[in-house]
Amino acid sequence: MRKLMIPVVVVALIVVLMSIFVIPEGERGIVIRFGRVLKDDNNVSKIYEPGLHLKLPLFDRVKTLDARIQTMDGRSDRFVTSEKKDVIIDSYVKWRIKDFGQYYLATGGGNTLTAETLLERKVTDVLRSEIGSREIKQIVSGPRNQDVLPDSSDSEVVTTEAAKQALEVDGQRDQIMENVLNDTRKSAEKDLGVYVVDFRMKKINLPDEISESIYRRMRAERESVARKHRSQGREKAEIIKAQAELEVATILAEADKTARVTRGEADAKAAKIYSDAYRKDPEFFSFLRSLKAYEKSFSDKSDILVLDPNSEFFKYMKDSKGAVKP
């Protein structure tokens, strides 16, 4: 009897071990019985939370699925805008499993690669439709924010063509991402049992041939703006220079006028002094002027004067009183 107990205990232990399964943290489990997902009384797939659970040995098979939010980093793809121009968009999607039973069946056994392939196809189709109905300037720009628009009184800001275009463009990049997120979320939840948490466009590039054309146009616009600023600078420089020259001429004219007036007043005072002095002693004044005439006439020894000795010029040399003898 004891010999039979040992095999029975071993078999019972094996059965118990085969009936126990553990779901790790961050995952959920579903039980497959006879090829079908085990459901609860409400005909909804039965989900096993992290922890220790029981199953029917030999008949039940447990499939664990990752319940955390996952990131699908999509490959760069080419899209055509309403202008028939190509853009290359790089995006990513945040998603998680919502209906584990449906997810298991839709992906052929809970294959993550299959799920992301199907999800990427849905995202690409919706994004292609959104891009095809918009222009490039609407795709690459965000919503227009009135709070950050420049003041209309600042003429230096709004004069450039680039600034005017920036004010006119009503960017729809955020609207595109929101539309793709909503449409993909509904489709993915219905077909895959997946809940799309978020969708974002990481990078929007243009093909090389279009980028080069745009760069040339931007360079031409910047050069045009630079030439305009240079011409305006030269114009202002000429105005400042003319104003400075006018101020200099005005100052010099005022200074010359003041100098002439001062010089005239000084000459008048000097003439008055000479006149007053002459009235007080005309003879002395005549004598002083004759001395100055002698000084200037005989300053150089090589000078020769041919004069009549009895002329009035030599009157003070012959007589100290200046009397001229007949």
Condensed to tens digits (0 to 9), the pLDDT of residues 313-326 reads 666 666 655 554 44
Residues above pLDDT 70, as percent of the chain: 80
Question: Over the chain, what is the mean pLDDT?
Answer: 81
User: Which token pair is 68?
Assistant: 């955390």
Could you report the per-residue pLDDT of 49-94, keeping only the tens digit for each? 898 888 888 788 888 899 999 999 878 889 998 988 888 999 999 9
Model pLDDT, residue 146: 44
Measured distance CA(7)–CA(28) in Å, rounded: 35
Question: Is 175:142 a contact under the CB 8 Å cutoff?
Answer: no
pTM: 0.56
Q: Please state the φ and ψ torsions of residue 164, each to the nearest 5 degrees.
A: -65, -40
Half-sphere exposure in the Cβ direction for 131 (13 Å, CA): 21
Question: Is 160:145 a contact under the CB 8 Å cutoff?
Answer: no
Mean pLDDT computed over 223-249: 94
Model pLDDT, residue 238: 94
Q: Please state the φ and ψ torsions of residue 41, each to the nearest 5 degrees.
A: -65, -25
User: Which token pair is 81?
Assistant: 């805008």
DSSP string, 79-130: EE-TTS-EEEEEEEEEEEES-HHHHHHHTTTT-HHHHHHHHHHHHHHHHHHH
Residue identified by tokens 């275009």 is 165
User: What per-residue string of b and e applies to 21-46 under the rule 16 or more CB within 10 Å gives b?
Assistant: bebeeeebbbbbeeeebbeeeeeebe
DSSP string, 137-185: HHHH-----GGGSPPTT-HHHHTSHHHHHHHH----HHHHHHHHHHHHH
Q: Which residue has the higher pLDDT, 301 or 270?
A: 270
What type of residue sits at position 223?
Answer: E
Model pLDDT, residue 227: 93
What type of residue sits at position 133?
Answer: S
Q: Does the pLDDT of residue 229 top 90, yes or no?
A: yes
Measured distance CA(297)–CA(305) in Å, rounded: 8
Query: What secondary structure letter does DSSP report for 133?
Result: T
User: Which token pair is 149?
Assistant: 């628009």
From first CA to last CA, the distance across the chain in angstroms is 193
Could you report the per-residue pLDDT of 148-176, keeping only the tens digit for each? 444 444 433 333 444 444 444 467 889 99
Angle of CA points 230, 233, 237, to nearest 5°: 140
Mean pLDDT computed over 287-301: 72
> Residues near 207 by Cβ (< 8 Å), separated by ≥ 6?
78, 86, 88
Q: Does the pLDDT of residue 11 top 90, yes or no?
A: no
**20-23 vs 51-54, strand pairing mode:** antiparallel
Longest dimension (CA), the chain: 193
Could you report the per-residue pLDDT of 171-194, keeping only the tens digit for each? 788 999 999 999 999 999 999 999
